Amino acid sequence: MKRATRSWWMIGIPVLLVAAILFIAFSASQVTVQQPATLEAIYDLLVTEDGENRLDLIEQRVTALEQQIQGIEDEVDLIYLQAKEMMEEEGWQFEKQQWTLDDMKFLLDAIKDKTDCIVCP
């Protein structure tokens, strides 16, 4: 019994030490030092190296993206209208074909009735 307990302590203590060292190392690496913002740092954020205003550049990009999106929406609307017109045209053609088939069926039924009368005495 003492040997099992002793071997447990021999393994457990180094594991606990390694875990404590890792915990301390990870905790220390998480510490961040906050520096006060300076006018120069803020200026560097707002202006490029060429002296252009970053906010204006961002606004130009957003405007260009909005125009692209509007163009895509216009194309989608056009495709939708064309598809709708095609579906309506196909629907009209199907109705026209149905009328033609109904007329043919009526005429075939009329011919059948007349042939039935001829054959019957």
Q: What is the pLDDT of residues 82-107, one digit of tens each?
A: 999 998 888 778 777 777 888 888 88
Q: How many domains does the chain have?
A: 2
Do 47 and 9 share a structural domain? no
- Domain span holding position 54: 33-119
For helices 54-119 and 39-46, the axis angle rounded to 10 degrees is 40
Do 114 and 81 share a structural domain? yes
Do 85 and 105 share a structural domain? yes
User: Is pLDDT above 70 for 31?
Assistant: no
Q: Is the pTM of this model over 0.85?
A: no
d(CA 52, CA 44): 11
d(CA 50, CA 52): 6
Do 78 and 64 share a structural domain? yes
